[in-house]
Amino acid sequence: MKLFAISDTHFWHKPERNMNQFGEIWIDHESKIKRNWREAVGTDDLVMMGGDISWASRTEEAMVHLRQLCSLPGIAKVMVKGNHDHWWKKTDKLQPLLPQNLTALSGSAVKIKGEVICGTRGWLSPNDPCSDTLDKKTFEKEMGLLEQALIQAVTLGPSLLGIHLLLHFPPFTTTGANTPFWEVIKRYPVATCTYGHFHMRHEWEKIPKGEVDGVWCSLTSSDFINHRPLLISPR
Ligand SMILES: [Fe+2]
């Protein structure tokens, strides 16, 4: 089973949320994602979806998009919430409504074919230039959820490779510095960490990618990876 990741797919269903307005890369992006996904991902592979999945505001609307994504190749899909996934209210109420091969992670972990994946949304950190004091409460809540996810991942017995951590917000600031989330991550046997949220070229250039403190880090914003699910772990 190979592991792939893609985030910020931003599927839309209303003209005012048409992504075409955000530049060439976003024109007809849903078709690009579907085509590339079918090419890249095999039926036995797993795909991690790192938030900002759909612009929908109601769960029923988002479900149309989730069913589309879950009908694409892959033995299983896991997902975390992004800051725009307003349709995602309570995770325990959402899970029973989801397609059978989709797991929603929020401060939690799951074991699929021997690999342990855990995740949470994350948030802007107080040391980020874009953060403001109002963000502090959510930041603290997400710090707790990250630790909870990692503890649960350890108890599930990850493979020798380690834990796969799925986030929406990068554990690095918009200027590429470590955040307190990263300090937590370093204390656990994390093999891979994937994140999205960033859409600006200057953010893409500054954010750490590749091996950081022994963790394989990947930025998986759909526009950054040309709308093609990114191979994270080649086993
Ligand atoms: Fe986002």
Centroid of ligand 1 to alpha carbon of 82 (angstroms):
5
Ligand 1 midpoint to CA 122 (Å): 10
Distance 168 CA to ligand 1 centre (A): 7
Angle (nearest 5°) at CA 185 between 172 and 209: 45
Measured in whole angstroms, the distance separating CA 69 from the mean position of its chain's CA atoms is: 14
User: How far does residue 51's CA lie from ligand 1's centre (Å)?
Assistant: 7
Residue 140: its pLDDT value, please? 96
How far does the centroid of ligand 1 lie from the alpha carbon of residue 53, in Å?
Answer: 9
pLDDT under 50: residue ranges of the chain: none
For the chain, domains (ranges, CATH) are: 3-233 (3.60.21.10)
Tokens found for residue 102: 């989709």
Distance 83 CA to ligand 1 centre (A): 5
Q: Find where tokens 């893409």 sit.
A: 204
Distance 190 CA to ligand 1 centre (A): 23
Give pLDDT, residue 29: 93
Predicted local distance difference test score (pLDDT) of residue 130: 85
Q: 128 CA to middle of ligand 1, Å?
A: 15
Centroid of ligand 1 to alpha carbon of 157 (angstroms): 30
Ligand 1 mean position, distance from CA 125 (Å): 14
Is the torsion defined by CA of 215, 216, 217, 222 positive or negative?
negative
Nearest Cα neighbor of 104 from 121, 129, 122, 83 is 121
Q: Which pLDDT score is estimated for 131?
A: 82
pLDDT digits (tens, 9 = 90+) for 138-186: 999 999 999 999 999 999 999 989 999 999 999 999 999 999 999 999 9
The pocket of ion ligand 1, defined by CB under 5 A, consists of: 52, 82-83, 197
Q: How far is the CA of 169 from the centre of ligand 1 (A)?
A: 7
Distance 103 CA to ligand 1 centre (A): 19
**The one-letter amino acid at 231:** L
